[in-house]
Amino acid sequence: MWIDIITFAAFFATFTLVLTLGLTAVRTRERVRNIADVAVQTQKSRPGRFRRAMAGAIPLFSGEIDTLEQDLRRAGFYSSSALIEFLFARNVVTLGTLFFGGTAAVVADPTTSLPQIILNTTLIAGALCYLLPRLILRWQANQRLGRIEQGLPDALDIIRMCLTGGLPLRDSLERVARDVEFFHPDIAVELEVVRRHAEADSMQKALKEFARRMNAQDVNALSSLVSQTERTGTHVASAVTEFADSMRRQYRQRAEERAGKTSIKMLFPVLLCLAPPVFILLVGPPLLQLRNFIRDAHQPGGVLDAESITAQQENLSGVRINRGQSR
**Do 13 and 127 share a domain, yes or no?**
yes
Question: What pLDDT does residue 70 have?
Answer: 85
**Do 227 and 108 share a domain, yes or no?**
no
**Residue 256 φ/ψ, nearest 5 degrees:** -65, -40
Average pLDDT, the chain: 76
**Of 10-14, 100-104, 317-321, which has the strongest mean pLDDT?**
100-104
Q: Is 232 helix (H, G, I), strand (E, B) or coil?
A: helix
User: Nearest-CA neighbor of 13 among 138, 88, 89, 105?
Assistant: 105
Domain boundary among 96, 128, 145: 145
Q: Is 63 left (phi over 0), alpha (psi -120 to 50) or beta?
A: left
Mean pLDDT, rounded, for 268-296? 81
Report the percentage of the chain scoring pLDDT > 70: 76
pLDDT at 59 over 70: yes
Model confidence, pTM: 0.67
**Do 83 and 182 share a domain, yes or no?**
no
User: Nearest-CA neighbor of 203 among 175, 225, 179?
Assistant: 225
**173 CB-contact burial (10 Å; exposed 0-12 / middle 13-18 / buried 19+):** buried
**Do 214 and 177 share a domain, yes or no?**
yes
pLDDT band at residue 256 using 50, 70 and 90 as cut-offs: confident
Mean pLDDT, rounded, for 175-204? 83
- For 138, the domain range is 2-145
**Do 165 and 184 share a domain, yes or no?**
yes
Domain boundary among 145, 173, 200: 145
Question: What is the secondary structure of 90-147 as a DSSP string?
Answer: HHHHHHHHHHHHHHHHHHS-TTSSHHHHHHHHHHHHHHHHHHHHHHHHHHHHHHHHHH
Domain boundary among 110, 126, 145: 145
**Do 161 and 132 share a domain, yes or no?**
no
Query: What's the CA dihedral at 301, 306, 307, 311 to 10 degrees?
Result: 100
Q: How many domains does the chain have?
A: 2
Question: What pLDDT does residue 26 have?
Answer: 47
**Do 117 and 74 share a domain, yes or no?**
yes
